Structure 1
């Protein structure tokens, strides 16, 4: 098993990774929005100068299409990275918590059927917790099933 990357691995990231991160971060700024708004205003203001020609319309259509096309990939790249980091943090919390079910580590890699099955288990857990009338009590699915069975046995012996 490979050791986890360290913080010192960051400077060795590729040029594209650094470039994409900077563009993605900049594109969400007020300055980027104002620049885009100014470009649209300039384009609209030049409409009468070009008699609202097809070429004039083609300039804005082509420009916005190209920018949108490229930004989709940059945004998706950023979302993929953010999602992976979030999963890693959740995996760390699951692995570190004594009562947590380790089978949920890397749950993002489960099939849709496996996810639906786990969803059913957690719905069952929620239903059992609701019957407990104790919102502060938490436990794993296995513990919930054991607790539920113990409660049933205790009630049947009364």
Structure 2
């Protein structure tokens, strides 16, 4: 079941980001707007677009979130691997995304302190930073 959902979510997320999906959505809205006079701009006419967009939005939130979670997880794993194989990197940064907000804020403050203590970069005539 998870594999099927992941496959569908990935496919829908890819399709939703393509130009033809936007064009289809725009055509539907234009057709709906043009049909207003035919239906007398009734409450039912308005309810059709409101219900349709609400249902699509509700479902897309879950599908896109699934796709985004998978992409983020893969990105973190790739970064963790780079940290792991880089000798000068701090291995304590692996799985940093699992730390609390307070721990991340403390780490950010320590980075800010290191940046303040570091000598400023100067620029050479060619525009490249110099240590």
Same fold, TM-score > 0.5, yes or no: yes
Contact 2:6/2:66 (8 A) holds in 1: no
**Partner of residue 105, structure 1:** 94
| CA-to-aligned-CA distance 1:91-115 (integer Å, 9 cap, x gap) | 0111111011111000000011110
Deviation at 1:39, TM superposition (A): 0.5
> Which protein has the larger Cα radius of gyration, Structure 1 or Structure 2?
1
Instruction: Give the distance between the partners of 1:136 and 1:116, measured in 2 at CA.
Output: 30
Unpaired runs of 5+ residues, structure 1, are 1-12, 138-158
Is 1:56 equivalent to 2:45 in the alignment? yes
Q: Paired residues, what number?
A: 124
Matches within 5 A, 1:7-156: 14-129=3-118, 131=119, 133=121
TM-score by length of 2: 0.88
Deviations 1:66-113 (A, max 9, x none): 000111111111111111111111101111110111110000000111
| Secondary structure, aligned partner of 2:8 | helix
Which ranges of structure 2 fall in alignment gaps of 5 or more residues?
A: 123-128
Q: 1:57 to 1:133 in 2, by over 3 A?
A: closer
Summarize the Cα distance change of 1:102–1:55 in structure 2 as closer, same or farther, 3 Å threshold. same
Change (3 A) 1:133 1:26: closer
Deviation at 1:20, TM superposition (A): 1.0
Tell me which stretches of 4 or more aligned residues in structure 1 moved more than 2 Å.
131-137
Cα distance between partner residues in 2 of 1:57 and 1:133: 60
1:56–1:95 Cα change, 3 Å? same
Distance 1:61 1:47 in 2: 14
Residue aligned with 1:14, SS: helix
